[in-house]
Amino acid sequence: MRALISVWDKEGLDRLATGLAGLGWELVASGGTAAYLEELGVAVTPVEELTEVPELLGGRVKTLHPAVHAGILARRDSDDDVAALGAHEIEPFDLVCVNLYPFSRARAVEMIDVGGPAMLRAAAKNHAFVTAVSSPEQYDAVLEECRAGGVSPATRRRLATEAFAHTAAYDAAIAAWLGDDALPRHLTLAYDRQLDLAYGENPHQRAAYYTQHGSTTHVLAGIEQLHGKPLSYNNLLDLTAARLVLRELDGPACVIVKHGNPAGAAEADTAATAYERALAGDPLSAYGGVVAFDVPLTGPLGERVGEEFVEVLLAPDYDEGALASLERKPSTRILRGGEALDAELAYRGVPGGLLVQERDAAIDEREGMEVVCGEVTDEQWRDLLFAWRICKHVTSNAIVVAKERMTYGIGGGQQSRVDAVRLALDKAKERVHDLRGAVLASDAFFPFADGPGLALEAGVRAIIQPSGSKRDGEVIEAVTRAGAAMIFTGRRHFRH
């Protein structure tokens, strides 16, 4: 039996090589791998002895040779293939172990592996006779089957599938790096499975969490789970929503998300105050939600949060007192950390296809917005920008009523904008919030003056919206008659 080994990552190679050698296998290896095996005291044949050609072009060419690829691709049940090997004195390979240059980390032309993918694809293509090993994680299982008499056809097929997926992901990373079009003609995506989830949105749906190949800014990057049950599909959706809202707020801030939408959010002088105000926005909807902070939690706040039913809790850190209190709830998923999220493309699957767009990630500032009626105080500006940034993350039609950088009422997912206004106001009134002097944000223009009219009657004194309706003049007139103010942002934030 004969194995060809050419690996960048030497992790676990000592076990595989010594294991195969102990079974009487002949080992052939390329430059650096051969030197490593010789240091281990394992008998190895350098590839250049087969090819009778030294490495060329600074290592760019070393395994691209018939002595290598014919030995991988030969079909053992083909008389012609066997005869060709004999005529050219080429010995076949039974196992090919290759892992590739780490392009995803280095991202440079010289880290684009050519020979490695070629050997791996050749072995995977000929999996009826050759075992394609593409990851150190596969070594132990392959060795076990070799010791038991040989790698089974089913395992060779599974390893071939993994090898082709591996090389496809590698090429996708290179194409993405080389390309300069955010929406290319051919979109090649590669994702690695990170977590098996208990189920999807419903118990009858299978689900898993995948991260973009090589990504260091996915939603769980830099996050450590300290306590609680495994994360679920819906947990991850809500955690994503919470993190995207939180990145737009000025801390200390707290966001509570339920069913993909903010249930409450607040900015304050302390994390404790921010939490109480976010919770007060809609305590009923906050039950069983995801709670996210942008500052560490200390003991008293941990004890307070622990009094509520929280599915997932995220903060940069926790002191010992906070953790002790929070861990009394066995099921609460306590998460710590989190890398900054990048403004990558946003994908949504549709039957047989994929909708792709730039993520709506820009954080809108006051500059460029237009006050079209009334006067806006600095305090109102703070509230308006706060409400506007929350509104961006609410399912359309979206309305956010806020005061003193706290959400009073959120209306989302309505087919009618006036119904969204009515829902937000009703929630605020149900919680007995004083709407006098509150502000309102709308993710898109008001087609009629009826929505703003309801808000103005309830006490709202400033409105922020994109504009763009043919009846903008009527809306401005209604706000002016009420003695209130209105801002046009010039930018819409639909979230379907």
pLDDT in tens, 235-268: 999 999 999 999 999 989 999 999 999 999 999 9
pLDDT-based confidence at residue 104 (cuts at 50, 70, 90): low
Do the bridges between strand 333-337 and strand 131-133 make them parallel or antiparallel, or are there none, so unpaired?
unpaired
What dihedral do alpha carbons 43, 46, 50, 52 form, nearest 10°? -140
Each as own residue / partner, the long-range contacts of residues 109-116 (CB below 8 Å, 24 or more positions apart, any chain) are: 112/174, 113/8, 113/170, 114/60, 114/64, 115/6, 115/30, 115/61, 115/62, 115/63, 115/64, 116/6, 116/8, 116/63
Answer yes or no: are the C-beta atoms of 486 and 465 closer than 8 Å: yes
Give the DSSP per-residue string, 20-61: HHHTT-EEEE-HHHHHHHHHTT---EEHHHHHS---BGGGTB
> How does DSSP classify residue 126?
T
Domain boundary among 178, 211, 246: 178
Residue 215 has pLDDT above 80, yes or no: no
What integer pLDDT is reported at residue 284 of this predicted model?
93
pLDDT-based confidence at residue 112 (cuts at 50, 70, 90): confident
3-state secondary structure 401-448: EECCCEEEEEECCCCCHHHHHHHHHHHHHHCCCCCCCCEEEECCCCCC
Domain-located, residue 7: yes
The mean pLDDT value for 489-496 works out to: 93
Q: Where does 88-208 have alpha helices with state H?
A: 103-106, 115-125, 139-147, 153-178
Strand partners, 441: 400, 464
What integer pLDDT is reported at residue 212 of this predicted model?
84
Average model confidence (pLDDT) for the chain? 91
Answer yes or no: are the C-beta atoms of 110 and 163 closer than 8 Å: no
CATH number at residue 123: 3.40.50.1380
150 and 32 co-located in one domain: yes
345 and 423 co-located in one domain: no
Domain-located, residue 40: yes
SS3 472: helix
Domain-located, residue 189: no
The mean pLDDT value for 103-119 works out to: 71
333 and 462 co-located in one domain: no
Rounded CA separation 112/225 (Å)? 35
pLDDT-based confidence at residue 110 (cuts at 50, 70, 90): low
Rounded CA separation 301/155 (Å)? 52
395 and 321 co-located in one domain: no
Domain-located, residue 193: no
Strand partners, 346: 357
Angle 252-256-260 from CA coordinates, rounded to 5°: 135
What integer pLDDT is reported at residue 103 of this predicted model?
63
CATH number at residue 428: 3.40.140.20
Domain boundary among 178, 211, 239: 178
Domain-located, residue 292: yes
pLDDT-based confidence at residue 201 (cuts at 50, 70, 90): very high
Share of the chain above pLDDT 90, in %: 72
250 and 174 co-located in one domain: no
Domain-located, residue 298: yes
What integer pLDDT is reported at residue 47 of this predicted model?
84
- Residue 11 phi/psi, 5-degree rounding, is -55, 125
29 and 159 co-located in one domain: yes
Residue 180 has pLDDT above 90, yes or no: no
pLDDT in tens, 135-169: 999 999 999 999 998 999 999 999 999 999 989 88
Residue of 222, 356, 239, 353 lying closest to 293 (CA atoms): 239
434 and 472 co-located in one domain: yes
Domain-located, residue 130: yes
345 and 378 co-located in one domain: no
pLDDT in tens, 57-77: 766 777 778 888 899 999 989
Residue type, 493: H
> How does DSSP classify residue 129?
T
In angstroms, what CA-CA distances link 161 with 41, 74, 165? 33, 19, 6
Q: Is the dihedral of CA 310, 315, 320, 321 positive or negative?
A: negative
345 and 376 co-located in one domain: no
Residue 106 has pLDDT above 60, yes or no: no
54 and 169 co-located in one domain: yes
Residue 351 has pLDDT above 80, yes or no: yes
H or E stretch including 480?
Answer: helix 472-481
Domain-located, residue 34: yes
19 and 165 co-located in one domain: yes
Full residue range of the structural domain in which residue 424 is found: 370-488
Catalytic residues: 125, 259
The total number of structural domains in the chain stands at 3
The mean pLDDT value for 81-102 works out to: 88
- Residue 342 phi/psi, 5-degree rounding, is -90, 160
Residue 229 has pLDDT above 60, yes or no: yes
Residues 6+ apart with CB under 8 A from 168: 188, 190
What dihedral do alpha carbons 311, 315, 320, 321 form, nearest 10°? -60
What integer pLDDT is reported at residue 13 of this predicted model?
92
H or E stretch including 320?
Answer: helix 320-326
Residue type, 295: V
pLDDT in tens, 403-448: 999 999 999 999 999 999 999 999 999 998 999 999 999 999 999 9
Residue whose entry in the numeric block shows the structure tokens 């050749």: 122
345 and 465 co-located in one domain: no
